[in-house]
Amino acid sequence: MCGCAKTAGVCRELLKLEPALWAFLRVEGVEPTNNAAERALRHAVLWRKSSYGTSSAKGSRYVASILTVVATCRQQGRNVLEFVTSCCQARLQSQTAPSLLPTAA
């Protein structure tokens, strides 16, 4: 025993998770780090860290929306600037905005 209750508690919790922590060694195709979810969130986390967030609910909704557009376009191999530009043009021309859903191949 280490003598520190907090450290002992952390160790107990880690031991409970031990099988999952080493799954990448036993299961082919499981990467040890930098999985798809982490990669998808990285841009948003870095943005929030450097900008200190927003000061309004409307600003927060905009950031959530634009970060979703960026992540989705990148996953689909689409040009983010072209997509956002086409959305703005559609709005100015009172047309339906392009879909963010992937097109059927």
Task: Say how many C-beta atoms besides its own lie within 10 A of residue 83's C-beta.
Answer: 19
DSSP 28: T
The pTM (predicted TM-score) of the whole model is: 0.58
Return d(Cα 51, Cα 13) in angstroms, integer.
34
Return d(Cα 65, Cα 35) in angstroms, integer.
22
pLDDT of residue 57 exceeding 80: yes
Residue pair 84/74 in contact by the 8 Å Cβ criterion: no
Give the residue, 32 or 82, on which the prediction is more confident.
82
pLDDT of residue 21 exceeding 80: yes
66-79 confidence digits (pLDDT tens): 988 988 898 899 99
Q: Give residue 1's pLDDT.
A: 64
pLDDT of residue 105 exceeding 70: no
